[in-house]
Amino acid sequence: MRFSVIVPTFGRPEEVKELLSSFIDQDNKDFEVIIVDGSLNTVLEKVIGEFRDKINNRYFYEKGLGISDSRNLGAEKATGEYLVFMDSDCIVSPDYFKSANNFLSKNKVDGFTGPDKAHSSFSRVQKAINYAMTSHFTTGGIRGQKVHIGKIHLRGFNMGISKKAFTSIGGFSGLKVGEDIDISMRFHDAGYKSALIVDAYVYHKRKTNFLKFFIQLFLHGKARIDLYKRHRKSLKALYFIPSVFILYLLAGISVIFYCRLCFTVFLLSILFYVLLLFTDASVRNKNLGIGFLSVYGSLIMLIAYGTGFIYNFIKRVIFRSRKESIRPLIIKE
């Protein structure tokens, strides 16, 4: 077996059904799908049973199982040479395994990841959130759109690791948030090489509304400090940008009381950035409504991530708390 796809989930029958459907028409059939369910009941068992004769899949259920433990259990049951971890809110691109197999046959790497895109069927909010997470004007395009071999962070929604490498580094460590970046760092620290395979992409739904998106990005900001506490060399200048953006907003608003010129310059800079986001998102999605929502989503992303980062920096770096972040139930729903 070449690939074992491992999908941790907390229920989500409709999303899992959509994900499994996307495996049916793959040209490369040398894969198995392992669903590990930690939800409150076994409602997924019936859904997965509908695909028994269509794809090679297995289902494991353990009430309350966390995301890291779910992935580790899936890896334990896997028979493939490469473990491919995906989120249940993804849809696999038609040539995913063909593209991944062709690349891996020509390039000796121990792990890989691929881009995430917005499917045409996604809601306008989901497309706006996708823009906020992938645009060069928000995240700097760090999730990658170009072929790259060497050291690239593996992302949990689309992460391939050879079973040999996964076993040697001890799998997922139990970190509740940021667990994919943690294993990626340990993967590279062990001397393994990763690659970005641009054609091995998934359509990633992420959150269905901006409230859940805010909570998710707040957790991501907190997780960056948790990762720093485990990996001291991991904190780069790039990760401070959302926090700097928040401080810039606060400073800009405050100057209205004593420097109108300064406030005007501040306001113009924000308007320029908003216009840049709106124009780019509207052109990319060919829709002005999505452009407007993308501005909103991008600002939410920056503020949520920056707030979480500042909060946990104060808590864990200044006050030296040892308590790591946890993932609330709302993120799993």
Tens-place pLDDT, residues 299-311? 999 999 999 999 9
Integer angstrom CA distances of residue 292 from 75, 185, 199, 217, 296: 42, 36, 29, 20, 7
Mean pLDDT over 89-110 rounds to: 96
Tens-place pLDDT, residues 213-263? 999 999 999 999 999 999 998 888 889 999 999 999 999 999 988 899 999
Mean pLDDT over 194-207 rounds to: 92
Report the sign of the C-alpha dihedral through residues 200, 83, 223, 122, in that order. Answer: positive
Q: Is 296 helix (H, G, I), strand (E, B) or coil?
A: helix
Is pLDDT above 90 for 326? no
Average pLDDT, the chain: 92
Comparing 52 with 11, which gets the higher pLDDT? 52
Quick one: what percent of the chain has pLDDT higher than 70?
Answer: 95
Is pLDDT above 60 for 291? yes
Q: Is 55 helix (H, G, I), strand (E, B) or coil?
A: coil
Q: Is the CATH code 3.40.50.720 the one for domain 3-122+143-206?
A: no
Tens-place pLDDT, residues 149-189? 447 888 899 999 999 999 999 999 988 899 999 999 999 99
Is pLDDT above 80 for 112? yes
Is pLDDT above 60 for 208? yes
Which region among 51-55, 74-78, 137-141, 143-147 has the lowest average model confidence (pLDDT)?
143-147
Where are the domains positioned within the chain?
3-122+143-206, 211-332
Mean pLDDT over 4-12 rounds to: 93
CA angle (105 as vertex; 100, 109 as ends), nearest 5: 75
Give the model's pLDDT for residue 148.
44
